[in-house]
A = this chain, B = another copy of it.
């Protein structure tokens, strides 16, 4: 199994710009969305090569980081366009997509080839605890807003900022734990795989892809409203399901590939590690960036989003804490994702 070649989709980049010139919003939206798939794929491929230069664990971190760079860029353009609820939906969707869809497909594909797969249960445990912290960070402000009618804008922002600061602190502490104080516990045996690209080429592809993703994100966000009006699907669904699937295609591919090759530790680092990064780092950072650019985004998510992330965390913790996986666990995660997706599809007003 090789990763499917998606580079031909890069042809959508000039096409989307052409449609922009022709003012065809629906087609701009579709082609820009489509073009992000191979771009995120290039980012993933370049990261994979860089990771091979950097060693397995730093590599896992690189994979997770640049797997989320696409979402971060799209989120920034959405914030600048005052589409804060969609940004939040994108964050939620990215967490759910990684936890349920990417991890589920990986366990399913890996489990069909290998009877049972084994990975570091302690690393899974640290990630699970980080996710529960994220759930607490999502839950308390949402409940605060739901139960106290009298709060003002300032209180909402203060609660959001403190929660965001705590989550970022926890993210940094977890990195210190993984890479410094308890590094020996998580040390992975050296891979015998050799990089195919020189590090220089990998960096260039990475930078170029990120730049083009920024252009396409701008096109995507600009065409979003008219396109959705034409298509008749809700902004909420786009943020929760479509953007994360498009933006995660790269991680998706890498994680499944790693599971197929029976390197489940790398799969978990990509899928769960990426969710943790979105929840404990990307989302809180957006709270502060959004304040900086004058379009403040608080940390108050909808009940639906909080519940979905909470339930996803629960099932992933239950499945991953024993350090073993099989195809059924993969199917169960995908089943959970489908149930959530269909419920989200019909929600309009959130």
Q: Does A332 contact B (CB under 8 A)?
A: yes
Minimum CB–CB distance for A201 against chain B, Å: 37
A-B contact pairs, 10 of them (CB 8 A): A128-B318, A133-B335, A136-B315, A139-B307, A140-B340, A140-B343, A143-B303, A144-B343, A148-B346, A181-B328
CB distance from A113 to the nearest CB of B (A): 12
Q: Is A347 an interface residue (CB 8 A)?
A: yes
**A338 lies within 8 A of B166 (CB):** yes
Q: A315 to chain B: which residues have CB within 8 Å?
A: 129, 132-133, 136
Separation of A348 and B79 alpha carbons in the complex (Å): 31
Q: Taking the complex as formed, is A277 at the interface, i.e. its CB lies under 8 A from any CB of chain B?
A: no
Which chain B residue lies CB-closest to A311? B136
The CA of A318 and the CA of B134, in the complex, are separated in Å by 14
Is A247 an interface residue when CB atoms closer than 8 A count as contact? no
Distance (whole angstroms) from the CB of A259 to the closest CB of chain B? 17
**Does A151 count as interface, using CB distance less than 8 angstroms?**
yes
Please tell me if the beta carbons of B311 and A348 are within 8 angstroms of each other in the complex.
no
By secondary structure, the A interface counts as helix
Question: Which of B173, B317, B331, B340 interacts with A318 by CB under 8 Å?
Answer: B317
Complex interface residues of chain A between 17 and 64 (CB less than 8 A to chain B):
none
A324 to chain B, nearest CB (A): 8
Q: Which residues of B contact A137 (CB under 8 A)?
A: 339
Specify which chain B residues have a CB less than 8 angstroms from the CB of A338 in the assembled complex: 162, 166
- Bound together, the chains give a CA A95 to CA B175 distance in angstroms of 30
Interface hits, A301-350 → B, CB 8 Å: 302-304, 307-308, 311, 314-315, 317-319, 322, 326-329, 331-332, 335-336, 338-340, 342-343, 346-350
B349 in contact with A133 (CB, 8 Å): no
On whether the beta carbons of B182 and A135 are closer than 8 Å, the reply is: no
Size band of the interface chain A makes with B: 35 or more
A73 interface contact, C-beta 8 A: no
Q: Is A6 an interface residue (CB 8 A)?
A: no
Q: Are B136 and A339 in contact (CB under 8 A)?
A: yes
| Complex CA distance for A343 and B319, rounded to whole angstroms | 31
- Interface of chain A residues 162 through 205 with chain B (CB within 8 A): 162-163, 166-167, 169-170, 173-174, 177, 181-182
Given A136-B311, A162-B338, A331-B170, do A150 and B317 touch, yes or no (CB 8 Å)? no
Cα–Cα, bound, A182→B325 (Å)? 12
Q: Is A289 an interface residue (CB 8 A)?
A: no
**By the criterion CB–CB under 8 Å, are A129 and B317 in contact?**
no
In the complex, the chain B residue whose C-beta lies closest to that of A184 is: B115
A125 at the interface (CB under 8 A from B): yes
Tell me the minimal C-beta distance from A261 to chain B in angstroms. Answer: 21
A339's partner among B163, B173, B336 (CB-CB below 8 A) is: B163
Q: Does A232 contact B (CB under 8 A)?
A: no
A155 at the interface (CB under 8 A from B): yes
**New contact pairs (19) apart from A136-B340, A173-B328, CB-CB < 8 Å:** A115-B182, A126-B328, A129-B319, A133-B336, A133-B339, A136-B336, A140-B339, A140-B340, A143-B307, A144-B346, A147-B302, A148-B346, A155-B346, A158-B346, A159-B343, A162-B338, A166-B335, A166-B339, A167-B335
